Amino acid sequence: DTGVSQDPRHKITKRGQNVTFRCDPISEHNRLYWYRQTLGQGPEFLTYFQNEAQLEKSRLLSDRFSAERPKGSFSTLEIQRTEQGDSAMYLCASSLRGLVSDEQYFGPGTRLTVT
Amino acid sequence: SQQGEEDPQALSIQEGENATMNCSYKTSINNLQWYRQNSGRGLVHLILIRSNEREKHSGRLRVTLDTSKKSSSLLITASRAADTASYFCATDAGESNYQLIWGAGTKLIIKP
């Protein structure tokens, strides 16, 4: 399967713990995106990488959230000191470079539950 | 905040009927995309329409875009049970940034 993969698929953690999610994009895609989605809502943009450079970050993103994409391949999203409000589906997507926004290919997501 | 707003929030039709859902947005855009999400396959891209296009077809899908009204519609013809899903429109912000802004989606149920 050459699609976008995410790991783990589910994560249950206690409030205050740190969690890290991984995303492996489609290999030839140089753009990578992280979104958060809560029940009944559309995805909410978190951050965007072109190759290894983090080019955009949502103003709504708390400083407890950090993302990396070393070597422009896989990416990790870390949430420190988790709160119950962080419970959501975390989606990763990748795309190929174009002049303007282009179609994105999504992974299955990581469902985070903070107890 | 979300730019796109889909209408209706939920739609239930008989298999074989056509389904139409609408999306409105607030700012100028470069393009508008429609995605489908179901529990089996996650979020899947359906179709992209650019701001200089008015209509686009892909199989049983027909998308229209009216930039003067800042609105788009997605028509699914001859619906099938497998079309049961949530449908989202997503737009960019129109200034060469790559952030997609999403609506809350239309939940479509196809009754057999």
What are the boundaries of each domain within chain B? 5-93+100-111
Q: Residue B108 and residue A17: Cα distance in Å, rounded?
A: 37
| A28-71 residue pLDDT tens | 898 999 999 998 899 999 999 988 888 888 877 889 999 999 98
Say yes or no to pLDDT of A78 above 60.
yes
Which fold would CATH assign to domain B5-93+100-111? Immunoglobulin-like (2.60.40)
B4 in contact with chain A, both atoms CB, cutoff 8 A? yes
Tell me the backbone φ, ψ of residue A27, rounded to 5 degrees: -60, -35
CA distance A80 to chain B (A): 24
Alpha carbon of residue A18 to chain centroid? 15
Q: For chain B, which residues score pLDDT lower than 50?
A: 1-2
Mean pLDDT of A85-92: 96
Q: Please list every residue in chain A whose beta carbon sits closer than 8 Å to the beta carbon of residue B30.
A: 100-101
Q: Please list every residue in chain B whose beta carbon sits closer than 8 Å to the beta carbon of residue A56.
A: 97-99
Report the amino acid identity of residue A34: W
Q: Residue B76 and residue B108: Cα distance in Å, rounded?
A: 11
B92 in contact with chain A, both atoms CB, cutoff 8 A? yes
Q: Please list every residue in chain A whose beta carbon sits closer than 8 Å to the beta carbon of residue B56.
A: none
B43 in contact with chain A, both atoms CB, cutoff 8 A? yes
